[in-house]
């Protein structure tokens, strides 16, 4: 866990270490990346709600977390992965990678995250 947080901090540090501000660089991200980020917020809210449910009938299925992770573990891990994901897409944009590749990564990520949110909703998890 500490390693993931450190990685996220290092990635964010590399974003701000260059001449452009973080805000200027984030503007380069495809607009679809914000859909991914919004779905991530919904997923985290669903997960935290499910784990706090009084029925105790839900458990985390992502083996990265274990069955009953803390809120801190969920948020810290999600921040680390989202920072890495945004950095990957940003570097793809900045290094002139083909548009089809950037869209494949972006839309693929959205599809996976939307699938998780839909699954959570379909088994009764609300937030």
Query: What pLDDT, on the 0 to 100 scale, is given for residue 27?
Result: 86
The predicted pLDDT at position 2 comes to: 56
DSSP of 48-101: HHHHT-TT-------TTT-SS--HHHHHHHHHHHHHHHHHHHHHHHHTT--HHH
pTM for the structure as a whole: 0.79
The pLDDT confidence band at residue 14, using thresholds 50, 70 and 90, is: low
pLDDT value at 127 more than 90: no
Place 105 in a pLDDT band, splitting at 50, 70 and 90.
Answer: very high
Contact 45, 127 (CB under 8 A): yes
Per-residue pLDDT for 116 more than 90? yes
Average pLDDT over residues 15-43: 82
């Amino acid at each position: 866990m500490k390693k993931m947080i450190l990685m996220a901090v290092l990635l964010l540090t590399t974003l701000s270490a260059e001449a452009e501000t973080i805000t200027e660089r984030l503007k380069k991200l495809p607009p679809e990346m914000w859909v991914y980020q919004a779905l991530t917020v919904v997923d985290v809210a669903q997960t935290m709600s499910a784990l706090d449910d009084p029925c105790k009938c839900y458990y985390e299925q992502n083996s990265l977390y274990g069955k009953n992770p803390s809120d801190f573990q969920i948020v810290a891990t999600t921040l680390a992965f989202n920072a890495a994901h945004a950095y990957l897409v940003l570097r793809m944009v900045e290094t002139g990678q083909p548009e089809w590749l950037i869209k494949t990564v972006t839309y693929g990520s959205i599809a996976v995250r939307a699938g998780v949110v839909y699954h959570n909703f379909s088994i009764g998890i609300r937030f």
